[in-house]
Structure formats: C-alpha cells, structure tokens
Amino acid sequence: MKIIILVFTLLSFSSGVWSQKANVTHAAMEFNKLVSMRQNGATSAKLKQILISAKNHIDQAASHVNTQNSTKMYAFKGIIYYELAIFMLQDEITSEMTFFDNLDISIQSFTKGLQVVNGKESGKSYIHKYAHRVAGELNALAWGLKKSGNNDEANELFKISKSFQDLSYR
C-alpha cells in the first residue's frame, strides 16, 4: 500500500512539472506559428488570437515554481511581450498596459533569463537571437519616428533599442 501511495505521489509531482514545461513549449509553438502565419499573410484577428494564446501559456509558466527560473521561459516571455507591444502600437490589442510597459516586461524577462544559472545554455541562445531581432526592429521604428519629426519618441526608442542590443551580446 505504501508503494502505491509513493508511486501516485511521484506521478502527481512529475505530471505537474511536465504540464508547466508544456506551457513553455505551447507558448513557443504559438509564437513560431504567429511568425509563420504573419509571413503567409494571415489576418490580424487570427494573429491576435495566436498571440493571446501564447501570452496565456507563458504567463502560466512564469507564475509556476517549476518553470519560473527557466531560461527558455524568460526568452519566450520576452519575445511574446515584445509582440504584444507591437500589436498595441498598431491598435490591434487594447490593455491597461502601455506599449512601454510591455517593452519593460520584455527587457526584464530577457535580463532575468540571462541571470538564471541552471547549467543549461539552450535558452540563452533564444534570448540573444530575440533581443537582437527586437533591437533591430525598434531601431528601424525609431528612425521612422525621427524622420517624421517625433524626436522625443525616437530618442526614447533608440535608448530602449540599445538596451535590447546590449542584451543580445551578454
């Protein structure tokens, strides 16, 4: 009887860990689906639906003790919150959070992911890749603002872009 209880307890614990890792995996799959469907010309409504699903999965993983210190979780949280910021900028998503709030969460996630010491470097390559991509896109956006005469907003985005660029080389 004790063995049955022990086996049941171990199975319950391992399934809880697995389900949280599954949330990171589902968020990653949804993000990759978002990128692919955007390239194939999907409607903004469909892209928004996929992004919200990715956000829900990554938020669940981020709040769970088994995955809250995962480099991969932080990498995908960072890029998903960046995508949320871009969708907000395009008025595709409304929220109490602002464009800059989402960018702050993105930077914080990438930074925390680089600080995690868990013996695995796999998530750090995601952070470097995504931080570099974000830096480039924000830099282009900042130049567009500067050309249209919005110097204050452009300068703010240049600073944020520099923060992402710095993270991509850490």
Tens of pLDDT, residue by residue over 94-146, are 677 888 899 999 999 999 988 886 555 567 888 899 999 999 999 999 999 89
What is the pLDDT, as a whole number, of residue 96? 77
Q: In sequence order, which residues have a C-beta less than 8 Å from that of residue 122 and are 6 or more positions away?
A: 71, 72
Give the residue, 159 or 1, on which the prediction is more confident. Answer: 159
* Nearest partner of 112 among 67, 160, 157, 54, judged by Cα: 67
Q: In sequence order, which residues have a C-beta less than 8 Å from that of residue 21 and are 6 or more positions away?
A: 61, 66, 67, 70
User: Whole-prediction pTM value?
Assistant: 0.82
Residue appearing with tokens 């452009």: 154
pLDDT higher than 60, residue 12? no
Give the residue, 39 or 19, on which the prediction is more confident. Answer: 39
Assign residue 94 a region (left: φ > 0; alpha: ψ between -120 and 50; beta: otherwise). beta
Give the model's confidence band at 6: pLDDT under 50 very low, under 70 low, under 90 confident, else very high.
very low
